[in-house]
């Protein structure tokens, strides 16, 4: 089970991130995970929302350029070595990780990690075969 991530392209200038979060808040979109990468000229905000369709509509209506990407949200034991377990499984099964970030969400004793992998179907099969639980919605 995969989730929809929204990537928002932002000019690297003061206040742009505040604008995005204000627009999403006013649109009643709740954020579940978020990360930002930047260069000198622009940034890419990646986020998971409780309603990705609504988030995309709100952002586009607000004048932001955004696109949807499929990612995996995986429950990982929230203890030392928990993330290493997933990384080892991906490594041993040749699943290429393009990037990852941590969700704001927790489920019982687990953290939720967002993975962008090169082959979503293969990543899903490998994780499920090794007993990892995928989060599909919040």
Note the pTM of the prediction, 2 decimals. Answer: 0.89
Question: What does the domain layout of the chain look like in residue ranges?
Answer: 3-69, 71-135
Give the residue, 41 or 49, on which the prediction is more confident: 49
**Per the CATH hierarchy, to which homologous superfamily does domain 71-135 belong?**
ACT domain (3.30.70.260)
The share of the chain scoring above pLDDT 90, in percent, equals: 78
Write down the CATH number for the domain with range 3-69.
3.30.2130.10
Distances, alpha carbon 131 to alpha carbons 77, 101, 126, 127, 135, in Å: 12, 21, 9, 6, 13
DSSP 4: E
Is 90 exceeded by the pLDDT of residue 29? yes
Q: What is the mean pLDDT of the chain?
A: 92
């Amino acid at each position: 089970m995969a989730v929809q991530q929204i990537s928002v392209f932002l000019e690297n200038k003061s206040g742009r991130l505040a604008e995005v979060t204000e627009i999403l808040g006013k649109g009643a979109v709740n954020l579940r995970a978020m990360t930002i990468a930047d260069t000198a000229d622009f940034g890419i905000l990646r986020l998971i929302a409780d309603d990705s369709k609504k988030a995309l509509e709100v952002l586009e209506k607000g004048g932001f350029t955004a696109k949807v990407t499929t990612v995996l949200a995986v429950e990982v034991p929230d203890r030392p070595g928990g993330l290493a377990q997933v990384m080892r499984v991906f490594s041993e099964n040749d699943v290429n990780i393009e990037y990852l970030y941590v969700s704001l969400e927790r489920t019982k004793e687990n953290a939720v990690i967002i993975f962008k992998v090169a082959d979503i179907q293969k990543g899903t099969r490998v994780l499920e075969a090794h007993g990892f639980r995928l989060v599909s919605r919040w």
